[in-house]
Structure 1
Amino acid sequence: MTTNMGKLDRALRLVVAAGLLFAAFVTTFAGSGILFWVALIIAAVFTVTAFVGTCPLYRIIGLKTCQEC
């Protein structure tokens, strides 16, 4: 897999994932309904793509946020 995400993009994804996990588990925002599961799924996708460095959606639309690639 070719990296298509820059360091800032990856860091922001981790911050957003942490916020979503906080909202899902700590606050009553997501509760236990569909918002809880949506927050968990999005947080999981953001975390995986941040660690891998590749976003499949970026590849489909031809976007690269990294300077080195």
Structure 2
Amino acid sequence: MKKNMGGLDRSLRVIIALIITLLYFNEIISGALGIVLLVLAVVFVLTSLVSFCPLYVLFKFNTCKRD
């Protein structure tokens, strides 16, 4: 896997994941929507950790700086 996510992109994903998690556990979002968003938050964190997003490959998108 070649990295395709830059630092800003990774940071924004982690921040969004934290916000979704806080909203879910404070019961501001709940039900099916809450579960779907929580799963999305987990995906955001995982893709941020590995600096790779499979959808970026599909759409030929890259936010990683090239040397």
Alignment of 1:30-45 (within 5 A): 30-31=29-30, 33-45=31-43
Displaced runs of 4 or more, over 2 A: none
Structure 2 unmatched ranges of 5 or more: none
Normalised TM-score (structure 2):
0.92
Rounded to whole Å, the distance in 1 between the matches of 2:12 and 2:43 is 13
The corresponding residue for 2:65 is 67
CA shift for structure 1 position 6: 0.2
Q: Quick one: which amino acid aligns to residue 56 of structure 1?
A: P
CA shift for structure 1 position 44: 0.4
The number of aligned residues is 67
Normalised TM-score (structure 1):
0.90
Rounded to whole Å, the distance in 2 between the matches of 1:13 and 1:4 is 14
Structure 1 unmatched ranges of 5 or more: none
CA shift for structure 1 position 29: 2.3
The corresponding residue for 1:11 is 11
Identity rate, percent = 39
